Structure 1
Amino acid sequence: MENISVQRRMLLRTAAAGAVLATVGGCGGGSGASTTASAPVATPPVVPPVVPPAATVAFTNVSVHDPSVIKAADTYYVFGSHLAAAKTVDWMNWTKIADGVNAGNPLFNNVTVALAETLSWAQTDTLWAPDVARLDDGKFYMYYCACKGDSPRSALGVAVADKVEGPYVNKQLLLKSGMWGEASPDGTIYDAAKHPNVVDPNVFRDSGGKLWMVYGSYSGGIFIMEMDPVTGLPKPGQGYGKHLMGGNHARIEGAYVLYSPDSKYYYLFVSFGGLDANGGYNMRVARSLNPDGPYVDGAGTDMAAVKANPALPLFDDASIAPHGQKLMGNHQFILASGESGTALGYVSPGHNSAYYDAATGKYFLVFHTRFPGQGEAHEVRVHEMFINADGWPVVAPFRYVPSSAGVTAADAAGTYKVINHGKDISAAIKQSQAVVLAAGGTVSGAMSGTWAHQGGNQLSITLSDGTTYNGVLSRQWNANADAFAVTFTVQSKAGVSLWGARTGS
C-alpha cells in the first residue's frame, strides 16, 4: 500500500482572511512509443479591443480547491473539493454558494446520507475534486469522488440535478479502487502501481459529440473512458479504461481535457508534484488529435510512457519532470520602481480546469493557488490563455481583466521583469529578472538574444543558446502598478514557458 504522506492528507481546515486552508486533490503503468502527431497550423482568434477601465480594478476572491468550471446561462460555476462551489459572471468577482460535506450543504439533501456508500468505501468524511457536466437530457451530472487519503482506496460516482446549483440526487457509483488483494474492474488483482486511483474526474465532449471521462491520480496514473451521453455512465466492457499518462505512483493528477477549434487539438492538462505549499505543484499540458490519445508533448514523447522509476524512492519526480509543456509553477514578480503592495506571485498553482468561449474566441485557465509567504491559504484564479504559433497553449502572466487587445512592435519594446518557469518540480519560488527587448530587436539583461513582432499579437524570442520561444503579447492589469501593462507569454518546444511584464521604456 502506498503512503501518500503530507501531500495526500487533509490539512487542518480553518477560515483565515476569507481563505480556506485545505490540502485536497487526488491521493495515491502503461507504456508507449515515442509519437509525433501531425501539427495543424494554429491561427489564434482575433479578439476585438476592449477599452480598459479608468479606475482601479477590484476583485472578489473565493477559496475553492480543485475548481472545475461549467457555464450555465450567463454564469460561470466552479465546483471543488469539500463540496465547495462558487459562481461569477465576469471571471473576477466570485460568490461562494456551498462548502463542506455536511447536512447543510445546499448541493445535496443531506450529502452524508446520500453518499454514505461512497464515504464508507473510501473510509473518509469528505469529498474530493468533482466535475459537473450537462448531458443530453438537459440535466446536470456531478461526477464526485472520495479517497481515504493515505492510500488509493477511492470511489467515484455520479449524481443528477435539474439545476446546476442542485440539489443533486445520487444515481450510482461508477468505479472503485484500492481493493487490496481483490479483483479490480479490469478483472486482475488491484495493483496501485498500474491501476488508477479513481478520483479527479473530468467529463467532456469531443468535436463529434462523443462523451468521455478522464480521471486518475498518482498510483497508476491518468485514464480515459468513453461514456454514454444518455445515461452518463461508462460504456460497458472498458474496465478502468485506457491509460494515458503516469504510473508507479508518479505525482501526476488533476486531468482536464479541452478541445481547441483553432488548432484542432485536444489538450490534456495535468498537475505535476504535490499540492501543498512545499509540494511544487505545477501545471502542464500535452496534446492529441484524438480525444483518447495518444497525448504527446513538444518533444513528441507519448505521455503514456511518462511514469516514475520503480527502482527509485516513492514519488520519484526526476523521471517525470522533463516531460510535458510546463505552463506555470512557483513564481514571484519582484517589485519594480513605482510599484507597491505585495509582489504578485503564486505557490503550487494547479488542479486546473479550462474553458473556451466560442462567442469571443477566448481561452481561460481556471485553477487554485497558494501564495508566497501565506502558507496553505488558497484562492481561485483565472488567467487568459492563447494558442501560440506552434499550436500550444500559453498562459497570460497576470489574472484576467478585460483589456485592449492590440500590442504593436513599438509597444512591445522596453524593459520587462521576466519569469523563467523552467521544467523542474520544486518548492523554490522563481523570481523575476530584468530583461530588455530593445527597439532594434535585441534581447539583453538577464537573457540575451533577439526578438521579433510577428504581426497581430504574435511574439518570438530566440535566446543566445538557439532556443526559440513563440507566444503572444497582451495588455494586462498589473495590480502592483495599479495600471495596465504590456505583457508576453512565450513557450519553447521543449516545454519551458517565459512570462514578461513591461516595467519601463
Structure 2
Amino acid sequence: MKNKYKVFLFFPLLALSSCGNNSSTPSVTPPVVSGDTYSNPVYSSSMPDPSVIKAEDGYFYLYATEDKRNLPILRSKNLLDWSLVGTAFTDKTRPDFEPNGGLWAPDINKIEDKYVLYYSMSVWGGEQTCGIGVAIADRPEGPFTDKGKLFRSNEIGVTNSIDPFYIEENGRKYLFWGSFRGIYAIELSTDGLSIKPDVSKIQIAGTAYEGTYIYKKNDFYYLLASTGTCCEGINSTYQTVVGRSKTLLGGYVDKKGKSMLENSHEILVSKSNRFVGNGHNSEIIEDNEGKTWFLYHGVDVNKPDGRILLLDEVNWDESGWPYVRGNSPSLTSEKPTF
C-alpha cells in the first residue's frame, strides 16, 4: 500500500456496496459456540469499523459504520452473541453538516455522566468537506442527540478528516484522527465536545494509516491502525498494524525503532485463506482472566458481502509487543471469560 497509491485510497473508506442505505434488520448467522470455543465470524452481517464500550448494565455495546442506516448499535454479554438494539439516530435526528453524507467509523466513550459518540461524516470522495462530529446520550442504546460538527478537513487543514479516536491522559482529553493523509491529534475541551481554544494539531503518524486506536499497557502506548484497501471485497488488502511510544503524542516506532511518521510498523493481523481485508479494530477489552481481546472487520471469502465482525485474542510477547496468533484471524478459538 505504501508503494502503490491509487486514487481511491485517499477517499473516505466506506463499503461501496452499501453506502449506509440499508435500513432493514440484517440477517445474521450466529457464531458457532461449543463448550469453551467459538468460531469466527461472531456477527455475519456487515458491521464495519467497530467501536465497543462496556456499560453499567453489564452489556457490551458496539457501534459501526452505517451499513445499516443511521448507525447501528449491537449488544452482547460476552463479545460473541450480538443482537441489534437499534440505531444511534433516526432520519429526523441524524447529523446533517454534510447533507448527503454517510456516518462512518464511530468512536464511543463515557465522559462524566454522558455517552459521547464521535463520528465521521462524508460523501464518497469528499476529502475536503468531510469532517468529524459528536453526539451525546444518557444511555448506551441512545437516543443520541447530535451536538454538531467539530471540524471539516478544509477547516482543520487535514485532508480526509475521518476516523476519530478519543483518549484521556492526566485529565486532558484528546482526539486522534486521519485517513491516508497523516494521523493527527488535538486537545479537546473539558467536556470533550469541542476543540480546546488556541491549541494546534500534532502529526502522530504518516500517510499509510487510518482507523487509529491507542492502548496503554505498562510503560508503553500502542498505536493500532489499518493500512491498505478496505472496500474491494475479496481483493481488499486491509491489515492491522501497530507501533509503540513511551508517550501518548509520540514518537511511535516499530521493533527496529523506525518511526510511524515514516510509515514503519509491525503487522498485527493480515489475511488468511478464509478472511481478507482485516482491519479497523475496536477497543482492546480485558476479560475476567486478564486476557485481552479486540473486534475488527474483515471479508469472508466464502460470503464476500459486506465486512463481517471478527474477534481475536491479543497476546503480548516478552518484550511487550502485541501479537495475534498466526498474524491472521482465527477460525476457532477459546472463548473470552466474562
Please tell me the TM-score bracket, short chain as reference: 0.7 to 0.9
Q: Which residue of 1 aligns with 2:116?
A: 141
Aligned length: 310
Residue 305 of structure 1: how far off its partner (Å): 2.5
Report matched runs for 1:270-289 at 5 Å.
Answer: 270-276=225-231, 277=233, 278-289=235-246
CA contact (8 A) 2:175 2:188 kept: yes
Q: Which residue of 2 aligns with 1:36?
A: none
Letter matched to residue 17 of structure 2: L
Letter matched to residue 94 of structure 1: W
1:224 corresponds to 2:185: yes
Structure 1, unaligned runs of 5 or more = 21-51, 99-104, 307-322, 333-344, 405-505
CA contact (8 A) 1:214 1:223 kept: yes
Report matched runs for 1:424-503 at 5 Å.
Answer: none
| SS of 1:304 mapped into structure 2 | helix
Q: Which residue of 2 aligns with 1:78?
A: 62
Q: Which residue of 1 aligns with 2:16?
A: 11
Letter matched to residue 8 of structure 2: I
Which shifted more, 208-217 or 64-73?
208-217
Which of residues 63, 76, 80 is equivalent to 1:92?
80
Q: State how far apart, in whole Å, the 2-side matches of 1:128 and 1:403 are.
A: 28
CA contact (8 A) 1:196 1:223 kept: no
**CA deviations over 1:347-386 (Å, ceiling 9, x no partner):** 1111112324275322112101111243343211111112
Normalised by the length of structure 2, the TM-score is 0.82
Q: State how far apart, in whole Å, the 2-side matches of 1:232 and 1:7 are.
A: 23
Q: Which residue of 2 aligns with 1:325?
A: 266
CA spacing shift, 1:53–1:274, aligned 2, 3 Å: closer
Q: State how far apart, in whole Å, the 2-side matches of 1:290 and 1:19 are.
A: 41
Structure 2, unaligned runs of 5 or more = 1-5
Q: Which residue of 1 aligns with 2:335?
A: 402
Residue 236 of structure 1: how far off its partner (Å): 1.8
Residue 233 of structure 1: how far off its partner (Å): 2.4
Two-structure CA RMSD over aligned residues (Å): 2.9
CA contact (8 A) 2:38 2:333 kept: no
1:150 corresponds to 2:152: no
CA spacing shift, 1:325–1:125, aligned 2, 3 Å: same
CA spacing shift, 1:139–1:270, aligned 2, 3 Å: same
Residue 84 of structure 1: how far off its partner (Å): 1.9
**CA deviations over 1:255-294 (Å, ceiling 9, x no partner):** 111111xx32111110000002313100000111111111
CA contact (8 A) 2:286 2:292 kept: yes
Q: Which residue of 1 aligns with 2:136?
A: 160
Q: State how far apart, in whole Å, the 1-side matches of 2:111 and 2:25 are.
A: 37
Q: Which residue of 2 aligns with 1:174?
A: 150
Higher relative contact order (CA 8 A, sep 6+): 2
CA contact (8 A) 1:19 1:377 kept: no
Q: Which has the larger radius of gyration?
A: 1
1:115 corresponds to 2:95: yes
Residue 17 of structure 1: how far off its partner (Å): 8.4
CA spacing shift, 1:358–1:402, aligned 2, 3 Å: closer
Q: State how far apart, in whole Å, the 2-side matches of 1:281 and 1:287 are.
A: 20
Residue 150 of structure 1: how far off its partner (Å): 1.4
Letter matched to residue 81 of structure 1: T
CA contact (8 A) 1:382 1:400 kept: no
Residue 231 of structure 1: how far off its partner (Å): 4.3
Letter matched to residue 188 of structure 2: M
Q: State how far apart, in whole Å, the 1-side matches of 2:25 and 2:110 are.
A: 34
| SS of 2:120 mapped into structure 1 | strand
1:199 corresponds to 2:170: no
CA spacing shift, 1:279–1:389, aligned 2, 3 Å: same
Report matched runs for 1:47-86 at 5 Å.
Answer: 54=35, 57=38, 61-62=43-44, 63-73=46-56, 74-82=58-66, 83-86=71-74
- Structure 1 consecutive aligned stretches of length 4 or more whose deviation exceeds 6 Å: 14-17
> Between the two proteins, what is the percent identity of the paired residues?
25
CA spacing shift, 1:111–1:400, aligned 2, 3 Å: farther
Residue 92 of structure 1: how far off its partner (Å): 1.2
| SS of 1:132 mapped into structure 2 | strand
1:243 corresponds to 2:203: yes
CA spacing shift, 1:237–1:375, aligned 2, 3 Å: same
CA spacing shift, 1:112–1:242, aligned 2, 3 Å: farther
CA spacing shift, 1:61–1:231, aligned 2, 3 Å: closer
Q: Which residue of 2 aligns with 1:381?
A: 310
